[in-house]
Amino acid sequence: MSAEGTLVLGWGNPGRGDDGLGPALADAVEALAAPGVEVESDYQLQVEDAAAIARHARVLFVDAAREGPEPFFLRRLSPAASGLSWSSHSLTPGQLLALARELFGAEPEAWLLGVRGYEFDRLGDPLSRHARENLAAAAGYLREALRVGALEEIPRSEPPASRPVARL
């Protein structure tokens, strides 16, 4: 299977306040109609996403972050070392990457973008004001990153010379 292009995979539940940040950012990326970029979103990550991941050279997971830096973080990901959880009906990005490797022999370059959210527990709430601001910042970053074709770790934790940068 020849892997090419970038898959943007957003997940979360838009009916749970800021949990909808992942699908909202996926929608924003889809609206860009960037060449070579495919966008998917769902409530949760599941095993069939491993097949989609394996078809791409690069995958960018986008999710809401309960903790961490504002307005968002971006970091490289590796396949998880352990198997699936004992009862879960959803997977982590690392578990999905491990499945893609084990099932399809695929090891795409993988990134996780976490948009900082604040209100997760109240049913039916829209995105909070701060979360909308963070979403706009993340969407703005990706718009530029997709235009110039590069992702980089944010916030920067290492000197620029050794910081991972990937061409899209």
Pairwise CA distance, residues 141 & 127, whole Å: 19
Q: Which is nearer to another protein, 43 or 141 (CB)?
A: 43
Residues lying near another protein in the complex (CB under 8 A) are found at: 13-16, 19, 23, 41-44, 46-48, 50-51, 64, 66, 82-90, 98-99, 102-103, 120-121, 123-124
How far does Cα 51 stand from its chain's mean position?
A: 16
Give the shortest CB-162-to-another protein separation in angstroms.
31
Instruction: Give the number of other CB atoms < 10 A from CB of residue 147.
Output: 11
Q: Which is nearer to another protein, 66 or 129 (CB)?
A: 66
Q: Which is nearer to another protein, 52 or 141 (CB)?
A: 52
Give the shortest CB-165-to-another protein separation in angstroms.
29
Pairwise CA distance, residues 156 & 68, whole Å: 13
Contact residues for 41 (Cβ-Cβ < 8 A; gap 6+): 9, 10, 11, 22, 23, 26, 27
Give the shortest CB-65-to-another protein separation in angstroms.
10
Give the shortest CB-59-to-another protein separation in angstroms.
16
Point out which residues pair with 72 in neighbouring strands. 115
